[in-house]
Every structure is written in structure tokens, then in C-alpha cells.
Structure 1
Amino acid sequence: MKLPASVRILALCQALYTIGISIQLTLTGLAGLQLASDKRWATLPFSLIILSAAVTTLFAAHWLQRAGRRSGFLLGAGSGAFGGALAFVALWQHSFALLCTAALFTGGFQAFAQYYRLAAADSVGSETKGRAIATVLTGGVLAALFGPLLARSAQGWLPGVLFGGAYLMASLMGIATATLIYMGYKPVHMTVSTKDSTVPPRRLRQIVAQPVFQAALASNAVAYLLMAGLMTATPLAMLGCGFTLADGAGVIQWHMLGMFAPALLAGWLVQRLGVTVLGLTGTLLLLLASLLASQSLSLPAFYIALLLLGVGWNFMFVAGSTLLALSYRPSERGKTQASSEFATSLLAALASLAAAPLLQQLGWQQLNHYAPCLLLLPVVLLLRQHRQSRRSGSDD
């Protein structure tokens, strides 16, 4: 079945967003270090991006349902464009407070962009939701290839403002996203059956009690928690092992390729093998990544472990997002997506904030030794959901 044109537009939006946000996440810590009078607060703007995204996720879901996806995605892209421009002004004016304010708007862009994949899933039938989600995530491949290159080349555009050109580039990505949405995005909604249109929406606790929702949330949240925590800790761990910043940048770039390139395959796998097999394969890859990282501090080990971490995250995230899209009726979309995305974003934010202290206390190898314990939850819930779907005769 051919996917709607709106899915391809959302994949391009995902690419532009990921390029813009990767520039901001790469440089915000360094910009904070430059502007903060007390260097202990240097990472505050970085943390504010993540926390703002988590909080805004709740608002974004309800806005998208009530005002429409086109309006919501335009608002998110505009927030990203303004955040990048404001960060440039902060660097120009040497204002740490302005940089922190800019981070809040950048987090808003991230919150709305998280719904690109779910908008794609809602535009197709249940049998192709996984492929639609995976197609949108392939947009991140372009970001993994060109994001770091653009960040390095753009930061020298304005010699008098360190990193200023890179932040203007991030702002341009927001403007480009808004232009693409305004000119080319036409939301597609599946026809609501008479039964679904007459049945009143369920309470949130009823939706959350479903095994399909619990399996979706566990897959998404645990994948994001491990990915965000270990990715944040990786550059610090590598510096502690004597590697250079260039080595760290190379490892993160391969990690980003691992996060998005497999989406080209995940869409096919979820249709051929099913959601459960894809999700369990992702947990296995995350387990292998942690085991490798806990056993070796060599540069190849960092490269392979972070690549496996990215691929495992992708498989678990595609599986979890597909299950999430199957857990609600159209009238329940806003509150269901909001609760899942908020929980996932909040855990990712906490993992990022805790990464440095845990790394300092435990060390890189010990941190990876404990990480796989978290994978038990999605494994159990995915298997339970699979058994229930087989009993009910549905296809997962």
C-alpha cells in the first residue's frame, strides 16, 4: 500500500528538525560555558531544552487535537526558529539569561516535532502504521550525515560571535520546516467508523490499563531513558579515557546514524515479523551495546556500542510507537499521546541530568553494567501484549 504524500512531507520535516536540534544540543553546553559567570551552571540551558520539551509535550498534544496538526506543527517550527535566533542574540549580547530563555523555545520545537511520527501513523490503516512511523524516522538519516558538518561550518560565519552562525543555521531549519508545512503538508485522517464515532471516549485510566498501551510506553520510555543517559555520558567518558573531542564527535555521529538509518529496514521488518519481534530485537541490541561498553574502553568498542545503542533504540521506538498508535480511538488521541510522550520525555530528561553524576560515581563500565536491568520491563510487557493479541485473534 502506498503511503500518503503527507508522510513523506513529515519525513522531510523530521530531517530539518533533527538537523536544527542537533546543532543546538551539540553547542548549547559550550555556549553556556562561555556565557555563565558561574561555570557550575554551564549545562543549565542544555537541561532546559530537555525539560521544556517534556513539559510542552502535554500542551502540544492537546493543541494538535483541537487546533489541528498543521497549526500545531507551524507553531512548533516557529518556536524553533525563534529559539535559534534568540540564542544568536544571547551570544551577541553575552547574556546567559537570554540563552536559557532561547532553550525553552527550542524545547517547544522538540515537543511538537515528536508528534510527526504519530501524525503519520494516524493517517494510515493499522497494517501500515509501523511503516509510516519508520518512514518519518528515516528523515533523521540526513541529520546524522549533515548536521555535524553544518554545525562546524556555520559556527565560523560570524567571527565576532562565537557559535553565532551555527545558531542562525538552527533558526533557518525552523523557518524551512515552517515553510514546508505551510506549503506542502495536508493532514490526512483515516475515516472514523460509525461505531467509533458514537462510542464515548474512555477515561485515561482505562486506556493506560490496556496491555497494548503499557507495552508501548515501556518500549518507548526505556529505550529513550537508556539512549539519552548513555549518549549524554559518552563524550564525558571518552574524554576521561584520553580520547579527543573529535573522537567523541565521530562516535556520536555514528550513534545518530544507528538511530535513524535502520528505519529504512524497520518499516519492512514490522510488517514481516510483527511488532513484538522488532521490539524484542531492539532490547537484545541494547543489551549487547551495554555488555560491550562494560567490557572494553577501546575506541572501536565505543563506536560499536554506540552504533548498537542507536539501532536498538530505533527498533524499540518504532515498535513502541506502532503499539501506541493502536491503543486509542481517534477521540482519545490527544490525551493518550500526551500521557505517553510526557512520560517518555520526562524520563529522557532525568536520564540526561543524571548521566554526569552517575558517570562520576560509578564510572563508564559500571554504569553500563547496571543499564540492562531496565530492559526486563519492556521484554515482559511486550510478551504479555503478544499473548493477548494472539488470544484475541488480532495481528501485532
Structure 2
Amino acid sequence: MNAIRPHSDVPPNAEGPSSRGNATVLAIAQGLFTASIAVDLTLTGLTGYQLAPDKSLATLPFAMITVAAAVVTLFASLLMQRLGRRWGFIIGAVTGGMGGLVSVWAVIHGHFWLFCIGTAAVGVFQAFAQYYRLAAADAVEEAHKARVISIVLTGGVIAAVLGPALAAWSRDLMSTVFAGSYMVVALLGFLSALLIGVCYRDVEPTGVLKQDAELPPRPVGVVLRQPISLAALANNAIGGVVMMFTMTAAPLAAVACHHTIDDGANIIQWHLVGMYAPSFFAGRLIKRLGMPAVLFAGMGLSALCGIVAMSSTTLSSFYVALLCLGIGWNFMYVGGTALLASSHRPSERARVQGTAELIRYVLTALATLGAGPVLERYGWTSLNLVTFPLLALAAAMTLLWVRAARRAKAMPANVLSSSR
């Protein structure tokens, strides 16, 4: 991976057993979280329609997940700076479990607004769970960051497939339809809290230069204006916007193209596999080919999604397009996360990571809300055209970092040290 600054005196292969164990624990926790979100993704729209006093509010409960996550994400980072990530992850998971129980009660008693509170609590779970990958990355040397991020995200592979199946299996478990599914959401949250509480241990950031550790924190704006930070935001935020914008509209576009509702659901399921399955090899691919190559490959695959989607509306084209989109997002997300974890000093971690995640959440929430109206007014082809300038912007910001990294690498060490 190209770096903006050299790293510590710690051997480049240093990776403690506690760090490896934490990555495995976080991968399992990621799987539990993804399964709970998949249940909500599958059923919350239907449940909201069933409970809403005004059917135009049917999607509000699911939107509350994203809104709550966006509101809480910066607070979550600051809280974990104070209490440690272990306690933060436990608080997030317990809140998600409580949200599942509230949803059960709301479904049984037909209370729409209480159901919205329950799904918002799951959004709080999401806000904390998004830091699993960063917690794993912070605990290892830069050479290993992409690999442990990939390990954490592999937990989502099986969950992406099993989540919808869990939703279907559990929806009639209790006397009121869908109540059993939200009991599963509660159990997954509490199980995640138990797993983190028993098996996870906070690990201090690894590979930090002594002078960096002693320096005071810089303003967040200064950190985020660095080329490496801009590249991280480009791949995390813009990659997420392109993915959510297209994914949200895809099932609706498939139905409009005379495919069935089940076809739309299957397209999303394969898209989820594309999002998480590359995690088995993305870290190794970055180590072998280099970070820039994998980031640009992710952008290329995301662009290929748009090309395929515009060229044909056959069912196979939808499958290929959404699979490419998922893989492209994964490459950009893993790489962008590794860059973000390398962009700041330890004293800046909470505010920088929290602000970056807040930006990502706000932009992806806007993309989710905008996808339906854009599809309705302009159509599937025009919707896909919108993604190309966004990907071009991501490519430009990434290229800016690549050039800055090369200049820094060519700069004499004493000059680089005095300029810091």
C-alpha cells in the first residue's frame, strides 16, 4: 500500500495474537449484525405498511434505521474514545436487542410509532457496528489493515444469505405475523453483546510513530483535507452513494421491466453476496496488486454496473449489474477504510473517524431517499447515468492521493520529518 508517511519502528509483520483474535470476534459480530439488518431489510417495509395509519408512511420505520445511525455515529465514536470500543460495541448491540423487543411489542399491539422507535434503536446498533472494521484496522500495522478489514467483512457473507431466510422462517413463529422475526433481531443483538463482552478486548493502535503519538490533535478539517483522507472519503462515501442509489432502485426497476417481485428480491440477495464475498480475498489482492489498483478496479466494476444496466433490462442483466456493483463497492469500501485508518494520529481517531462516518451516512441516506423519485421521474437508464460523474470524482480524488503518496515516498526522510 502506498503511504503518505513512514511507519513505526515496529517490525512490518507485527500482528499480535490478540489482534487476530479480535478480528475473528468482530467478523462473527459483523455476521450477527448483518443478519439482523437483513431481517429488517426484508420485512420492515411490509410491517410498516401493515401498521402505518397513513400508507405513505410505510417506509418511515426502515428509514429510521439510517436516520438514527447518521445521528448517532459521531457520538458513538466519541463515546468509545471515552469508554473504550468494547463497551461501546456492547452498548450498541444491547440497544439493538432492546429495539428488537420494542418492535415485537409494537407489532403485537399494532403501534406504528413505537415500531419506528424500535427500528431507530436498530439504527443505533448499526452506528456502533460500523466501527467493527475500523477497530480491527487500528490494532494492526498498516501492511495488515486491508486484510483484517476483509476478515471482519467476511462475517457478512453468510448473514447476507441467511438473513432473508431467517426473516421468512421466523415471521409466523408467534401469534402475530412478523413478531417472531423481530424477536430474532432482538436475539441477534443480545448475542452480539454477549460475544463482544466475553471475547473482545481493546487493543491500543499499533505502528504509531512516537512523535505522532506525542503531537496534539489537529482540527478535523485539516485532517480531512489531506489527500489520503480525501481518497478515503471518495471510496467510502461516494462508493456508498453509488451503491445505495442503484441498489435501492433496482428492485423497483426490475418490476417495472415486467420481472416479478421475487426476481427483485433475488437480485438484491446476489448483490449482497457481491458486497461481502470479495472480503475473502480483497485484502490479499490489495497486498499483491497495490491499493490504487484495487480501488480503481472497484470504480471500474461500479461503472460496469451502469453500462450493463443501460444496455439491457433482461433479468440476467440485472443480476450481472448488481453483482458487479456489490464487488465494486467491496473493493472501494475495504480500501477506503484502510486509508481512513492510516490518515490520522491516535489523538484524532474518534473525531476524524466519527466525522468521516457521519459524512458517509448522510450522503448514502440522501442517495437512498433520492433513488425512488429519480427512477420515477427519469427512468432506470438516466438513474444509472448519474453514477458516472460521481465515480469520476472518486477517481480524481484517489488519483490526487496516489500522486501525493509518490511525491512523499520520493522525498528525503529528513525533509518529510521536518515538514510534519
Q: Which residue does the alignment assign to 1:123?
A: 139
8 Å Cα contact 2:227/2:397 also seen in 1: yes
Separation of aligned partners in 2, 1:237 and 1:86: 33
Q: Which residue does the alignment assign to 2:401?
A: 385
In structure 1, which of residues 322, 335, 346 is the aligned counterpart of residue 362 of structure 2? 346
Q: Which residue does the alignment assign to 1:371?
A: 387
Q: Which residue does the alignment assign to 1:52?
A: 68
Separation of aligned partners in 2, 1:371 and 1:318: 20
Q: Which residue does the alignment assign to 1:174?
A: 189
Is residue 99 from structure 1 mapped to residue 115 from structure 2 by the alignment? yes
Q: Which residue does the alignment assign to 1:256?
A: 272
Is residue 329 from structure 1 mapped to residue 330 from structure 2 by the alignment? no
Q: Which residue does the alignment assign to 2:204?
A: 189
8 Å Cα contact 1:275/1:323 also seen in 2: no
Distance apart, 1:194 and its partner CA? 2.9
In structure 2, which of residues 215, 230, 233 is the aligned counterpart of residue 214 of structure 1? 230
8 Å Cα contact 1:222/1:378 also seen in 2: yes
Q: Which runs of 4+ in 1 moved over 6 A?
A: none
Separation of aligned partners in 1, 2:248 and 2:103: 21
8 Å Cα contact 1:275/1:322 also seen in 2: no
Separation of aligned partners in 1, 2:162 and 2:41: 15
Q: Which residue does the alignment assign to 2:413?
A: none
Q: Which residue does the alignment assign to 1:32?
A: 48
1:292-338 C-alpha deviation (Å, 9 max, x unpaired): 11121111011111110100000000111111011001110001001
Separation of aligned partners in 2, 1:220 and 1:377: 13
Distance apart, 1:373 and its partner CA? 1.5
Is residue 295 from structure 1 mapped to residue 307 from structure 2 by the alignment? no
1:321-368 C-alpha deviation (Å, 9 max, x unpaired): 111011001110001001110000111111111111111001112211
RMSD, matched Cα: 1.4
Q: Which residue does the alignment assign to 2:417?
A: none
1:39-84 C-alpha deviation (Å, 9 max, x unpaired): 0111111111111111111111101111100010001101110111
In structure 2, which of residues 11, 29, 35 is the aligned counterpart of residue 19 of structure 1? 35
Is residue 76 from structure 1 mapped to residue 92 from structure 2 by the alignment? yes
Distance apart, 1:145 and its partner CA? 2.2
Q: Which amino acid aligns with 2:387?
A: A
Is residue 223 from structure 1 mapped to residue 239 from structure 2 by the alignment? yes
Q: Which amino acid aligns with 1:49?
A: I
In structure 2, which of residues 274, 277, 282 is the aligned counterpart of residue 266 of structure 1? 282
**Structure 2 spans left out of the alignment, 5+ residues:** 1-12, 411-420
8 Å Cα contact 2:69/2:361 also seen in 1: yes
Q: Which amino acid aligns with 1:339?
A: T
Separation of aligned partners in 2, 1:148 and 1:46: 15
Is residue 162 from structure 1 mapped to residue 177 from structure 2 by the alignment? yes
Distance apart, 1:370 and its partner CA? 2.4
Q: Which residue does the alignment assign to 1:110?
A: 126
Is residue 281 from structure 1 mapped to residue 297 from structure 2 by the alignment? yes
8 Å Cα contact 1:134/1:266 also seen in 2: yes
Q: Which amino acid aligns with 1:47?
A: A
Separation of aligned partners in 1, 2:395 and 2:21: 35
SS in 1 for 2:218: coil
Separation of aligned partners in 2, 1:124 and 1:150: 34
8 Å Cα contact 2:213/2:345 also seen in 1: no
Q: Which moved more, 1:191-200 or 1:71-80?
A: 191-200
| TM-score using structure 1 length | 0.97
8 Å Cα contact 1:64/1:71 also seen in 2: yes
Q: Which amino acid aligns with 2:381?
A: Q
Separation of aligned partners in 2, 1:276 and 1:30: 42
**Structure 1 spans left out of the alignment, 5+ residues:** none
1:205-249 C-alpha deviation (Å, 9 max, x unpaired): 210120000110011111111111111111211222222221111
8 Å Cα contact 2:253/2:375 also seen in 1: yes
8 Å Cα contact 2:253/2:380 also seen in 1: yes
8 Å Cα contact 1:23/1:147 also seen in 2: yes
Q: Which residue does the alignment assign to 1:361?
A: 377
In structure 2, which of residues 317, 320, 323 is the aligned counterpart of residue 307 of structure 1? 323
Q: Which residue does the alignment assign to 1:233?
A: 249
1:273-307 C-alpha deviation (Å, 9 max, x unpaired): 22111110000000000111112111101111111
Separation of aligned partners in 2, 1:239 and 1:57: 34
Q: Which amino acid aligns with 2:285?
A: L
| Percent sequence identity over aligned pairs | 45
Distance apart, 1:193 and its partner CA? 4.1
Q: Which residue does the alignment assign to 2:418?
A: none
Separation of aligned partners in 2, 1:144 and 1:101: 24
Separation of aligned partners in 1, 2:224 and 2:385: 31
Q: Which amino acid aligns with 1:78?
A: V
Q: Which amino acid aligns with 2:292?
A: T
Separation of aligned partners in 2, 1:357 and 1:4: 45
Q: Which moved more, 1:104-113 or 1:199-208?
A: 199-208
Q: Which residue does the alignment assign to 2:332?
A: 316
Distance apart, 1:261 and its partner CA? 0.3
Separation of aligned partners in 1, 2:74 and 2:308: 37
Q: Which amino acid aligns with 1:167?
A: Y
Is residue 67 from structure 1 mapped to residue 83 from structure 2 by the alignment? yes
SS in 1 for 2:393: helix
